Amino acid sequence: MFTHLKICGITRLEEAQKIAELGVSFLGFNFYERSPRFVTTGRAREIIRQLPAWVNTVGILVRPTLRECLQILKHTEIKFLQIYDPLDFTDFNRLPAPVIAAFRLKDGVEFSYQRRGEQYVLLDAFHSGVYGGTGRTLNWLQLPAEVPRERLFLAGGINPDNILKALTAVNPAVIDVASGAERAPGVKDLEKVRAMQMTVLSFNLAKIDRAKQNGNN
């Protein structure tokens, strides 16, 4: 299983295009109006339509209704929905796009996971009233074992300085970064993105080398 990088909080076309040129697999668009990285559906659509077709675009929503989810998909051509605090888990099975169920974990509070129709799970650090982009780091060594790593998006305070530690400790499907890839909220730092993408690629190459060595033994 290869790990991919997701850069969340995209607000500018030029930045999105340059991030895609670096080979980043996932780009996130935040439709939560209280977020400093909020983007309108119209603006998101303009950006998405000018990205390569292989880019996985993700819409971030907080407590959306089924109707709101369907409208986002229709008007933006988003490929994935990342949903915090869903009103009804049964809606997941009624959506025509893969769902990433996002959970905010509190320090010292046990988290019990039960799949309810989502295709992927995102684990983030809890911050009251804030959904993503907090810069707070999870305790990677205490993540719930029942969440399959091949379906896990790992978020929470990841940046160029600690991304390798997160990769090594968790080995998730996707590393999710917002504030750790920025100069200011919604303003991406392309050098930080480049550094993290190179770390992810190196991590994947190391996994290939280990697999080859194991196969030769």
Q: Walk along the chain (217 residues) in steps of 10 and give the mean pLDDT of each run.
A: 95 97 98 93 98 98 93 96 84 90 78 80 73 66 84 94 96 96 92 98 93 73
CA distances from 95 to 27, 83, 116, 151 (A): 20, 12, 13, 18
What's residue 127's pLDDT? 57
What's residue 128's pLDDT? 53
Give residue 93's domain range.
Answer: 4-216
What's residue 23's pLDDT? 98
Residue 114: DSSP 8-state:
-
What's residue 190's pLDDT? 98
What's residue 134's pLDDT? 57
Can you give the CATH number for the domain in which 111 is found?
3.20.20.70
* Domains contained in the chain, number: 1
What's residue 10's pLDDT? 96
What's residue 12's pLDDT? 96
Helices 41-48 and 13-21: crossing angle, nearest 10°? 40
